[in-house]
Each structure stands twice: as C-alpha cells, then as structure tokens.
C-alpha cells in the first residue's frame, strides 16, 4: 500500500482551484471534495445546541443573554464551573475534566445496558486516533528479539496503519470478505496468524466497527466469535467504534464490544483485555476540528495502566473545548429541555439525509457497468469496487500509477470530483475500489453521483 497517492491528488486539487480562479476553462466551476469523513467540509451544518454552548463557553457574557435557550446557558455555566479559573483556556487533568470523564462513563453504561464503566479506566484524548497510537505504543516492543505484530483489517483507514509501521510494528493483514458484505471471518483471522509465523510476534487484534471504509456493521454473534478468537490466541483487542452513531441498514444495529464482552460473562468478561475508542469528530456531531475522543480500557493490568498514564501525561490533557463537545455528544438535550425540539429536528434531518444518500449511492453505483457496491450498513463512506478494463490498467502502468489512482486522477481532472483510491486502504490483489463520503447534503450527493456517472460512462467507452 502506498499511503501517499492521495496526497498527490490533494495537491492537484489546489492547483485546479488556482486555475479556476485564474479563469482557466474546465467542464466544472468547482471541485467537490468527498474524500474525507468531514461532514462540515462536505456541507452538513453543525448542530445548533453544540455551537451555542461552545459559544457561551468561549464568551461567558452570553451566559446572561436571553438570545440563547435557558438550558444552553445553564449547561455552559455548569461546564465553565468545571474549568480551572472558569475558563476554557486553562489546562485540565490528564484524564480529562473529572466530571466530564464521569459523564462519559455514565454514557457508556447507558449505551451498554447497564454494564458498569469506571472513570479510572477512561482517558479523554485529542482525538481517538491519538489514543489509538498511544495504545499501539504500549503494545509494540521495540527492544524484543522479534518485531511486534498487530492483526489489522484490510481495507483499513491509512492513519492506523501508518501509526503502526511508524512504531516499527508489523501490520498483519486479515482480509474482510467483500463477497460476504465485508464480514470479519475467524478463518481469515487464523490465516493471518499463520502468515505471521517466523515474521513477527502478534500481540493484538484491531477491529473497526462500523467499518471504515467498508461500511460493515458487526452483529452480536460476529463480535462474540472475534472475542473468543482473541481470548484463545491471547491477543489484546482494540475496538475502533467511532462511527457507532452512524448505522443505516434496516437490519443492522450497533452493539459495542464492551457490551458483548460483559454479556458473555466469565471467563471472557474477567480476562479479555480491551481498548475501545469513540470520538466527537464522527457521527452527527462531526466536530473534526475540535480534536477530542476517548478510550476505555477493560481488564488491563495495573502496571500497564500506570505506564499508559505516563504516556497520556506527556500532552497535558485534551483540548478543553473538545472535552466540552464530548460532554455534549454523550449528554445531548432530552425531551422536555428547551433545546430538544431543534436538536431532535436537526439530528433526524441529518439521519434521513444520510439514509437517502446511501440508498441513492447504491442505486447509481450498482447500475453503472463495471461498478459493484456491497450494502453500506454504517459509517461515513461508500467503498464500491470497480472492474477496470485491461486497457485502463495498462495505461495506468504506463504513467506510473496504480489503476484505481489513475481512475481517481482522471475523475478529478475531467469531472472535478475528488475521491480516494482503494489502494490507500489496502485491497485484495487484483481488485480496485474508490472511497467517498456520504455525509453530505442531498443536493451535493446528487451532483457527486451525476458527475461520477457521466465520467464513468465515458471512461469505460474510452478504454473498452
């Protein structure tokens, strides 16, 4: 996998935008960028309640303003009271503001049907990826006689694989089954372990649920099988669950690894080491720029927890504004609160928009010759497969590009549409994919699909 091919496309976007400003004639007036899982960049509006509370915390005079709903002002006043010096500009405790950590624990317990969650096992971090990198740091033994391995899904978002390889670890790929709707299969996990023999020492299993970029949502039965496998093989389990609020399939439901582990009971619930991650950057909140998430640790040895605390201590805690956003995500307005009607309307509108976008994307993609998309059950992306003509593959080799990067490059140049090639995430040899974000307003999604359809039809003619 070459994780820099997207960077080449992104650089070309900047050049195209400059050309458009200079009046260079193109078949489009602007580039549409749906390569990131960034809802606000893609055109979705921030939630009013979140921004109102953040505004009042940044400018406390607004706490007395009748222009803001009373529950917004009360929440801002309470949150400011938790900050040192009553200011969001102050440092917080290493784990996060204690009261917010407590409320995150209560959120987890509610989510998981009452399974206990303890604040001392939770760290609020500057984004879930930052927390994941810290856990990797603990797991990777750079002094050992053999390199450390982590079983990692393919496809997998590139930031995780870069974090692993940057620490000197070995990414041990296990391929999720596209033909089975991107399911995790224990057979493939066993094959991955076999492939690691003589290469590295596998110590952990990394799962992403809902999948990024695959869009697969694991069932409770699937999660149980993964937990049993990890327990039998003595692997630390890392559960990336940042898109848990984004489930679109009619028959799909998000269930956390923590909940399934608790319901399985001993010996699993007493011994299985688990780290699970969530973030305020994803889902309906989409506050990517505030950089805040959390990790909850289960059954981790006290000595390891002590070392983890030292690692988390080096960055003086997560940004306070991000922590406030996390508090608002885990404790949104409730029925009867003045802000609830608008909050409910906005979140329901976002959900209906995204359900619509998923349906439309699948309709269009699966109607185009050469495209095939598995159902998108959750997450923020479509990840369709493209069966590229032999001439297109040959042309890509001639210009020194991966075939799907070549496709994405032509799509950008000719249609002004930026998507990401599947080679960024890993894919089965001989298959090609693209990834694009579905978290965007309906009108933009329709334009994306219109441009993609027009370009793809011509591309297939040109290279057939």
Domain end residue (candidates: 295, 330, 365): 330
The residue with greater pLDDT, 296 or 5, is 296
Give the domain CATH number at 221: 3.40.640.10
Tell me the C-alpha distance between 245 and 210, whole Å: 9
Task: Examine the domain organization and report whether 104 and 38 are in the same domain.
Answer: no
Average pLDDT (20-29) is 95
The residue with greater pLDDT, 419 or 316, is 419
Number of domains forming the structure of the chain: 2
Task: Examine the domain organization and report whether 171 and 311 are in the same domain.
Answer: yes
Distances (CA, A) of 320 to 52, 108, 297, 325, 403: 16, 20, 22, 9, 44
Residue 193 within any structural domain of the chain: yes
Task: Examine the domain organization and report whether 151 and 294 are in the same domain.
Answer: yes
Task: Examine the domain organization and report whether 123 and 175 are in the same domain.
Answer: yes
Domain end residue (candidates: 330, 355, 374): 330
Reported pTM:
0.94
Residue 69 within any structural domain of the chain: no
Task: Examine the domain organization and report whether 455 and 325 are in the same domain.
Answer: no
Query: Which value, to the nearest 10 degrees, does the dihedral of the CA atoms of residues 34, 38, 39, 41 take?
Result: -70
**pLDDT tens digit sequence for 281-310:** 887 888 989 989 999 999 999 998 998 888
Domain end residue (candidates: 330, 363, 378): 330
Task: Determine the pLDDT at residue 2.
Answer: 45
Give the domain CATH number at 395: 3.90.1150.10
Containing structural domain, residue 190: 91-330
| Residue 276 backbone phi and psi in degrees, to 5 | -120, 145
| Residue 313 backbone phi and psi in degrees, to 5 | -70, -20
């Amino acid at each position: 996998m070459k994780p820099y091919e997207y960077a080449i496309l992104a650089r070309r976007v900047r050049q195209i935008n400059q050309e458009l400003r200079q009046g260079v004639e193109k078949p489009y007036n602007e580039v549409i960028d749906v390569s990131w899982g960034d809802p606000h960049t893609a055109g979705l509006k921030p939630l009013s309640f979140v921004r109102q509370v953040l505004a009042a915390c940044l400018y406390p005079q607004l706490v007395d303003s009748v222009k803001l709903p009373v529950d917004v002002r009360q929440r801002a006043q309470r949150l400011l009271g938790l900050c040192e010096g009553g200011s969001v500009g102050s440092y917080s405790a290493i784990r996060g503001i204690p009261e917010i950590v407590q409320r995150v624990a209560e959120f987890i317990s509610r989510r998981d049907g009452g399974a206990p969650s303890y604040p001392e096992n939770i760290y609020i971090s500057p984004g879930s990826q930052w927390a994941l990198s810290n856990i990797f740091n603990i797991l990777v033994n750079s002094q050992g006689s053999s390199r450390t391995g982590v079983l990692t899904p393919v496809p997998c978002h590139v930031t995780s694989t870069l974090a692993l390889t940057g620490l000197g670890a070995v990414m041990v790929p296990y391929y999720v089954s596209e033909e089975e709707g991107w399911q995790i299969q224990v057979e493939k996990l066993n094959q991955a372990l076999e492939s690691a023999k003589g290469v590295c020492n596998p110590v952990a299993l990394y799962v992403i649920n809902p999948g990024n970029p695959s869009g697969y949502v694991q069932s409770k039965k699937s999660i149980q099988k993964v937990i049993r496998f990890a327990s039998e093989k003595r692997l630390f389990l890392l559960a990336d669950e940042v898109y848990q609020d984004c489930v679109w399939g009619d028959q799909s439901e998000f269930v956390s690894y923590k909940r399934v582990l608790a319901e399985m009971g001993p010996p699993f619930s007493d011994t299985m080491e688990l780290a699970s991650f969530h973030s305020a950057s994803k889902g309906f909140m989409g506050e990517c720029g505030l950089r805040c998430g959390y990790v909850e640790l289960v059954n981790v040895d006290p000595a390891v927890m002590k070392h983890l605390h030292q690692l988390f201590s080096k960055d003086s805690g997560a940004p306070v504004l991000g922590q406030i956003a996390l508090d608002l995500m885990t404790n949104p307005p409730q029925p009867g609160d003045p802000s609830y009607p608008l909050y409910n309307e906005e979140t329901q509108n976002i959900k209906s928009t995204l359900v619509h976008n998923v349906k439309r994307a699948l309709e269009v993609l699966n109607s185009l010759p050469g495209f095939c998309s598995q159902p998108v059950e959750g997450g923020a992306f479509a990840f369709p497969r493209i069966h590229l003509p032999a001439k297109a593959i040959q042309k890509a080799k001639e210009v020194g590009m991966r075939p799907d990067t070549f496709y994405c490059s032509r799509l950008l140049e000719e249609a002004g549409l930026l998507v990401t090639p599947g080679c960024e995430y890993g894919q089965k040899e001989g298959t090609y994919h693209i990834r694009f974000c579905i978290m965007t307003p309906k009108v933009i999604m329709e334009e994306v699909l219109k441009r993609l359809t027009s370009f793809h039809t011509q591309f297939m003619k040109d290279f057939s």
